[in-house]
Amino acid sequence: MGIESEARLFEEADMKQGQPIRDASHLYEVERRVQHAERPGFRIMELQLSPTQKVPWHCHSNISDTFYVLEGDMRLFLQDPKEEVHLKPGEVFAVRAARPHLVTNGGTKSLTFLVLQGVGEYDYVPLASG
């Protein structure tokens, strides 16, 4: 997806909330997905996205996502309020529970990042633009 299409998705903020899902791994493709730790109420995942892959619009009912970039460039689109964040290796950004967000690769090489999720029961609530 090109920058113009991503920007259009960012502008079309009229999203409808889907049903919470406990495991969203089948909903979007990534180059690599590794679970480093999981305990009740907390988990650490490592994701690797190709330059064309993304984690679609979603939110979490009870947990925050804290992103930490290991390699590459991340573009993070958020709603409530609308915001765009660019992260490079070593940078971190936290998304509060229930805040819609979309993760994209902002570069031409693979993006590798950790996402720390907690504290609370994990779910993935997909959002569809209307």
pLDDT, one tens digit per residue, over 81-98 is 999 999 999 999 999 999
CA distance 128 to 75: 19
CA angle 64, 35, 108 (to 5 degrees): 80
Q: Is the pLDDT of residue 9 over 60?
A: no
Length of the chain equals 130
Q: Lowest mean pLDDT: which of 1-5, 45-49, 78-82?
A: 1-5
Is the pLDDT higher at 12 or at 5?
5
CA distance 89 to 70: 5
Q: Is the pLDDT of residue 8 over 60?
A: no
Is the pLDDT higher at 6 or at 93?
93
68 phi and psi, to 5 degrees? -130, 115
pTM: 0.81
Q: Lowest mean pLDDT: which of 19-23, 33-37, 42-46?
A: 19-23
**Residue whose structure tokens are 């999981």:** 38
C-beta separation of 121 from 17 below 8 A: no
